[in-house]
Structure 1
């Protein structure tokens, strides 16, 4: 049998990769619909009749941050550590002490940072999507983002384009982002348990060593007499 604790952590790393891939693809496609402009946190200037508006897109950094975070933090990093843990999990079939010999604290600290950044990203997406949907409902054309899907819009250059199902894509990325946060929170919890396991294991080994030394000392005294 392999170490179940290490196996579960490995599965969570790979799960993070898959969920992050969903976030990047859905969010990236929704952004490409608007020619790479960032729609979340965008503001709309409606005319007096409420039937036409001018879109003021938000800074590109609002959309770049989630993509970079999930590519480098939740895909590349998690994939690398997942493969490392998968190999270690396989080796535990022969040596049960491997999980207690691996580095824990460096990865635990990195995982904590990634979890915090995913939380920030999830909040950004939720608030940003809500903000642009609120802007769309101010006019007389749409009641919200769902009504604005698959519509013909005109960009700042006067070119017509179709909005597609941008809101569905944004919702998928938002839900996946919160799911990814849950995965990392569980990973943090398992990291804490693993730290406690390693500390208890080292404490038991330390006691065993002292017990052996005590036995040797007692034998030496008896031999002397």
Structure 2
């Protein structure tokens, strides 16, 4: 007769279990005893517990994804601002450079191929003078060539940046590496061309204003109304002045692009540079989890 009832059965089963474990230890002498954890004896989680685990993991993943998305939006905003500034500067450099080149070319055509940059002026009488532009042709050729080259470079790269900005494709990493020395070269050439045109134009105007009549001060702009004989001297001052302004604007744009390119290059090397906006990863939806 079983007086203890179910308790006796549980006691006997516990003794049997401990005996089996003891027997395993006796048989496994010379080897490490088996590791038995009470977690192994726990029942498997039910559907409600599994759903709670999945919901908790989904919330943690969503919180992390929101932080990544916020960080990515800031980087994307920096990327957009940097791209817009770079494209704007490139387009301004293109327009100002082309304007300077066209102005120099028109003045040269008006003076029958003679270059007024560093040209000599000789007064034959107090009311007549002659222009000697021998040897000044290469100076205008250099100014025209530099402005055409750097302007086309600015236009092509601005077009490439526009395609990358609107399509979020074709962003070739090697361009970020080679564009920095190219910007430096373009800036150096623009500086030389701007100095050449400005100083040469100032020298020509100084030659014009040094009239034999020293008591009369004549501004260079007034010589646009003079009779230039075989030349078309009208608006030469306005056009050469426009060429000087365009050259310095072009140089300023390239000068700003150089440190901007250095900053982007350094940030890219550190891995913290501005990146284009990317699509966020898909997150699991707790509502679609079957219990």
Secondary structure of the 2:121 match is strand
How many residue pairs get aligned? The number is 192
- TM value normalised by structure 1: 0.77
**What CA distance in whole angstroms lies between the structure 1 residues aligned with 2:166 and 2:231?**
52
Q: TM-score, normalised by structure 2?
A: 0.61
* Runs (5+) with no aligned partner, structure 1: 155-159, 204-225
1:79 correspondence with 2:149:
no
Q: Is the 8 A contact 1:6 1:99 kept in 2?
A: no
Aligned to 1:200: 270
Question: 2:204 aligned to 132, 149, 156, which one?
Answer: 132
CA RMSD of aligned residues (A): 2.3
Distance 2:175 2:157 in 1: 11
Bigger strand share: 1
Q: Which moved more, 1:189-198 or 1:160-169?
A: 160-169
Conserved? CA contact 1:45–1:53, under 8 Å: yes
Q: Deviations over 1:78-127 (max 9, x none)?
A: 111111111112233xx7xx868352221110110110010011111111
Q: 1:174 aligns to what?
A: 244
Counterpart selection for 2:192 from 71, 95, 120: 120
> Counterparts in 2 of 1:38-57, with a 5 A limit?
38-47=115-124, 49-57=125-133
- 2:104 equivalent among 27, 33, 39: 27
**2-side partners of 1:114 and 1:129: how far apart?**
22
How far apart are the structure 1 equivalents of 2:208 and 2:145? 28
CA pair 134-172 structure 1, distance change in 2 beyond 3 A:
same
Aligned partners of 1:81, 1:125: CA distance in 2, in Å? Answer: 26
8 Å CA contact 2:117, 2:136 repeated in 1: no
1:111–1:184 contact (8 Å) kept in structure 2? yes
Work out which of the two has the higher radius of gyration on C-alpha atoms and give 1 or 2: 2
**Partner residue of 1:60?**
137
**2:178 equivalent to 1:106:** yes
Q: Which runs of 5+ in 2 are unaligned?
A: 1-75, 274-291
Cα pair distance change 1:99/1:194, threshold 3 Å: farther
Q: 1:144 aligns with which of 206, 219, 233?
A: 219
